[in-house]
């Protein structure tokens, strides 16, 4: 009889501990959302930000927020591999306005016996400057919208660096719409045209991007898993890359994002991978969305 009573007590204790753990995760989610959305003005909605096509600053950014990003990726281009690296800094000088400066680099290495002289030249791709304004933030329906603009000063490759220094420009206005569904599910659409101008020929080439994203934030954590669908439309051409991804919190102010790239319709590209290191200075304790 004592053994029976002991088993009943142990079962009840286990059920209590399990229920407490579940409540703890739910409470953590609620407290984190409360911290982001309600403890500081103005209003802000917690959204999961995609890792490959990231935003200029969090939607509903608050004055003083800032963030450093360091990225490294590799893409199999059949005859060579391309290594992409980036350094970017983003900040909010006033509420709802985000600014960003980015330097993206590409380095090429041969594969399958490709001769080095047949490789594209290594390059600083561009100097990117960008702005984003959150014009709609509604905590009640957990929805945010923003418009923005990215300007890329396209640089000459290292073989011709300085001749000229800037060989073109890319004009990229965009629209972002995001919604959180309940506590843990997030969706986002990022879309806009990219208009590239060649200064030498004064020719313009236009493509249109539609990037759709779905993420699930792990209960009780800042971590998430998700997927990006990066779609590009050009004249008589369509490319799409599927990018499953995950984000892990390393410390309170440091996160790492890991992304895989699976091309659907690209003839000259195979698998790719990308890692993003995200460092948020001390503003995180007050008003970060990551």
Summarize pLDDT for 57-112 with one digit per residue, the tens: 999 999 999 999 999 999 998 888 999 999 999 999 999 999 999 999 999 998 87
pLDDT tens per residue across span 141-168: 999 999 999 999 999 998 888 789 999 9
- Residue by residue, what is the 3-state secondary structure of 133-197? EEEEEECCCCEEEEEEEEEEEEECCHHHCCCCCEEEEEEEEEEEEEEEECCCEEEEEEEEEEEEE
**Rounded CA gap, 250 and 246, in Å?**
13
**What is the value of pTM for the model shown?**
0.83
Residue 262 makes CB contacts below 8 A (sequence gap 6+) with 241, 242, 243, 244, 271
Nearest by Cα to 230 from 87, 90, 111, 75:
75
Q: Does domain 40-287 have CATH number 2.40.160.40?
A: yes
* Residue 79: exposure state from Cβ atoms within 10 A (0-12, 13-18, ≥19): middle
Q: What is the mean pLDDT of the chain?
A: 87
217-244 tens-digit pLDDT: 999 888 999 999 999 999 888 999 999 9
Distance, CA of 60 to CA of 176 (rounded, Å)? 12
Can you point out the beta strands (E) in 45-112? Answer: 66-76, 80-94, 97-110
Instruction: Please count the other Cβ atoms lying within 10 Å of the Cβ belonging to residue 176.
Output: 22
| Cα–Cα dist 201/217, whole Å | 47
- What is d(CA 199, CA 16) in angstroms, rounded to the nearest whole number? 69
């Amino acid at each position: 009889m004592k053994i029976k009573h002991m088993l009943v007590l142990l079962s009840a204790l286990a059920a209590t501990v399990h229920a407490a753990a579940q409540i703890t995760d739910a409470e953590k989610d609620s407290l984190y959302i409360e911290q982001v959305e309600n403890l500081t003005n103005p209003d802000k909605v917690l959204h999961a930000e995609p890792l490959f096509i990231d935003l200029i600053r969090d939607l509903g950014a608050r004055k003083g927020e800032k963030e450093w990003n360091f990225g490294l990726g590799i893409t199999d281009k059949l005859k060579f591999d391309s290594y992409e690296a980036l350094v970017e800094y983003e900040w909010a000088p006033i509420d709802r306005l985000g600014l960003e400066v980015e330097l993206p680099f590409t380095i090429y290495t041969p594969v399958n016996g490709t001769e080095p002289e047949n490789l594209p030249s290594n390059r600083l791709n561009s100097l990117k400057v960008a702005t984003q304004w959150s014009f709609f933030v509604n905590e009640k329906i957990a929805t945010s919208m923003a418009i923005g603009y990215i300007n890329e000063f396209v640089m000459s490759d290292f073989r011709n660096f300085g001749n000229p220094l800037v060989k073109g420009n890319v004009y990229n206005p965009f629209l972002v719409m995001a919604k959180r569904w309940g506590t843990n599910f997030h969706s986002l659409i990022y879309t806009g045209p990219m208009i590239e101008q060649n200064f030498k020929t004064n020719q313009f080439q236009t493509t249109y991007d539609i990037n759709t994203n779905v993420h699930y934030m792990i209960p009780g954590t800042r971590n998430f898993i998700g997927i990006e669908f990066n779609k590009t439309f050009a004249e008589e051409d369509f490319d799409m890359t599927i990018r499953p991804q995950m984000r892990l919190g390393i410390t309170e102010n440091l996160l790492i994002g890991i992304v895989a790239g699976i091309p659907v319709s690209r003839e000259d590209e195979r698998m790719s991978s990308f890692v993003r290191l995200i460092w948020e200075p001390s503003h995180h304790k007050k008003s970060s969305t990551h």
